[in-house]
Amino acid sequence: MAELVTEWVNVTGDISIIARESGEVWFHTPSRTKEIADPFAIPMTGVGSAGSTVGLLDGAINLGFVGIEKRLARPEPTVAAYIVALVGAYHTSVDTPRNLRRAASRFNELGRPEVAAYLEERAREETGHDRLALKDLRALGVPGERLVANFIPEGIKPLCKRFDDLCAEDYPIGSIGYSYCLERIAALKQEADIARVRSLCPEGVDATRFLRSHSSLGSEASHVAETVEFVATLPASDRIKIIQETYESSLLLAEGYNHELLKSEAEMLEEIRKAIGEALPYGRGLVPSNIEEQVARPVA
Ligand SMILES: [Fe+2]
Ligand SMILES: [Fe+2]
């Protein structure tokens, strides 16, 4: 019987993630004492497997969220928060195809056509997603183009910059880690999350196009599965960089989303008003009082 694959990556100074093909995952503190031989103290060099690679990728995301666990905002859902989330979704989508193509052409130059082909396919699949967010904003009666032109939520800015920078690197493999992080979080959203957002919206309004496509019901789940399969085939040095970037991106994402969620509804409505030059007809009155769970979290 073939031995099960074990993969490991050091993601911060004192934490490595270890994952086995069978699905087990550990967080490991490398031993500092010379007497104990620590097999995980040196970078892995072996092959990957889908089972162990997904353990490392998801382990990296979980680790990124640990830091904000105690500070996690749990606001009441409001239309204002959903509008801000859609603006964030627009900004994290609008440059994605162009950025991915830039990284793909770099991998072609580097003689890595398989990575280029994967990124080009992703660029095709992500094309037009910014327009879904604009349509949702329009459905809510918001002048979407004007709003996104004048407003990037503060917590979303570092994420957009990170992806721009990663795709412009000489060896832009980290872009895969960033994309995985965002898609994996989106794929956690279930039908009930979408139904809750629907119940916030005015009667007869469908403003969940972006959310649906970036949830377990849309293409995100298959994007996640395809990325895991692809990453598992890459050399160990690439897998290490991707996992490390997945961790860094999840730190930015956790902090950024939380920053937005901690704002009051009045602050959000004021940000929107400033950006479009008029007040929106949304306030607490439109939020059904029986909805207590957090649903207005960012949608991408
Ligand atoms: Fe997308
Ligand atoms: Fe996607």
CA–centroid distance, 114 to ligand 1, in Å, is 21
Give the pLDDT confidence score for residue 293 in this predicted structure. Answer: 36
- Asked if the model's pLDDT at residue 290 lies above 50, the reply is no
Average pLDDT over residues 95-108: 98
**pLDDT band for position 286 (cuts 50, 70, 90):** very low
Residue 15: C-alpha distances to residues 31, 154, 186 (Å): 10, 29, 26
Ligand nearest to the CA of 210: 1
Which runs of consecutive H residues, i.e. helices, occur in the chain? 50-66, 79-93, 96-109, 113-126, 129-139, 144-150, 157-167, 174-186, 191-200, 209-213, 220-233, 236-261, 265-276
* Ligand 1 centroid from CA 122, angstroms: 9
What is the spatial distance between Cα 148 and Cα 61, in angstroms, rounded to a whole number? 28
- pLDDT tens for 148-159 read 999 999 999 999
In the reported structure, the alpha carbon of residue 220 is separated from the centroid of ligand 2 by a whole-number distance in angstroms of 5
What is the 166 CA–ligand 2 centroid distance (Å)?
17
With beta carbons less than 8 A apart as the criterion, state whether 82 and 269 touch: no
Q: How far is CA 128 from the centre of its chain?
A: 17
Q: How far is the centre of ligand 1, averaged over its atoms, from the C-alpha of 93 (Å)?
A: 6
Quote the pLDDT of residue 18: 97
Burial class from Cβ neighbours inside 10 Å (0-12, 13-18, 19+) for residue 285 reads exposed
C-alpha 129 – ligand 2 centre gap (Å)? 9
Q: How confident is the model at residue 230 (pLDDT cuts 50, 70, 90)?
A: very high
Q: How far, in Å, from the CA of 214 to the mean position of ligand 1?
A: 6
207 exposure class (CB count in 10 Å sphere: 0-12, 13-18, 19+): buried
Q: How far apart are the first and last CA of the chain?
A: 42
Percent of the residues in the chain that have a pLDDT greater than 70, as a whole number: 92
Expressed in angstroms and rounded, the spacing between residue 123 Cα and the centre of ligand 1 is: 9
Residue 291, pLDDT > 70, answer no
Cβ-contact 253, 64 below 8 angstroms: yes
Does residue 296 carry a pLDDT above 60?
no
- What mean pLDDT is reported for the chain? 91
| Other residues' Cβ atoms within 10 Å of the Cβ of residue 131 | 15
pLDDT digits (tens, 9 = 90+) for 269-282: 999 999 999 998 77
What span, in angstroms and rounded, lies between the C-alpha atoms of 204 and 226? 35
Alpha carbon 69 to its chain centroid, in Å, reads 17
Ligand number nearest to the C-alpha of 130? 1
CA 200, distance to chain mean position in Å, is 24
CA distances to 69, 84, 135, 138, 173 from 209, rounded to whole Å, are: 29, 15, 8, 11, 30
